[in-house]
Amino acid sequence: MELKTYQSQVIQDLRQYLATLADTPHLENAFRDYWAERGVTGMPAYKNTIPGVPHVCAKVPTAGGKTYIAVNALQPIFDALSAINPQRPKFVVWLVPSLTILEQTARNLSNPDHPYHKRLSQLFKGRVAIYEKKDLLMGAGFSPDTVADQVSIVVMSFRQSPGKEQGRPQDFSGEWLSGPIHERAKGGCSGFTPRPRPVRPDQRDPDLETRGDCGRKP
């Protein structure tokens, strides 16, 4: 399945922004320079949602192929990251807003006959693995060695609960995802054991909680 013209333009714009970011590492300055080069004025200030992590949003109409754009966006992003650190793992946390979409997305990305999986295999020479949270907890085909040798995509859902830590990734069972997964996403771990933590402390069962550490050297 080929990219439509407007989808190709989105990917091209992303590549150009990443190039601007490489020349201007400061996020706010890169954002300003990118739009200034295009003669765009009146842009709102850059939103530093996750400090130190570039924030990119592609707005696409309904049925505009957002998932396929996201699939194709992975290569330019990893190309830009590899230019800085060739040893950085190609690890993706793919967040979706509901259980229904989670199941659909994980199924489509995993299906060898689906255009999403075919495109991923084409872009990354067949070295792609799709995981859900249960796969990580079971350690199914997931280790530091496999992560270093492939593109690993973990599909998870998220939601916000009033009075809780807003915006942290959750899976549909209501458990907060623990820190090591986030550290792994930043390429900082040499090994870890993911551990679920219940939403409320009074629900935690110490006999069920698997503990581990990130393996980071001091």
Sheet holding 90-96, edge to edge: 90-96, 151-157, 128-132
- pTM of the entire structure? 0.70
Backbone torsions φ then ψ of 215, nearest 5 degrees: 75, 15
pLDDT at 58: 86
What's the confidence (pLDDT) of residue 11?
Answer: 95
Residues 40-54: tens digit of each pLDDT: 988 888 988 888 888
Distances (CA, A) of 205 to 1, 139, 175, 195: 47, 21, 13, 12
3-state class (DSSP) for residue 85? coil
pLDDT for 163 beyond 50: no
pLDDT of 179 above 60? no
HSE of 147 in the Cβ direction (CA atoms, 13 Å)?
25
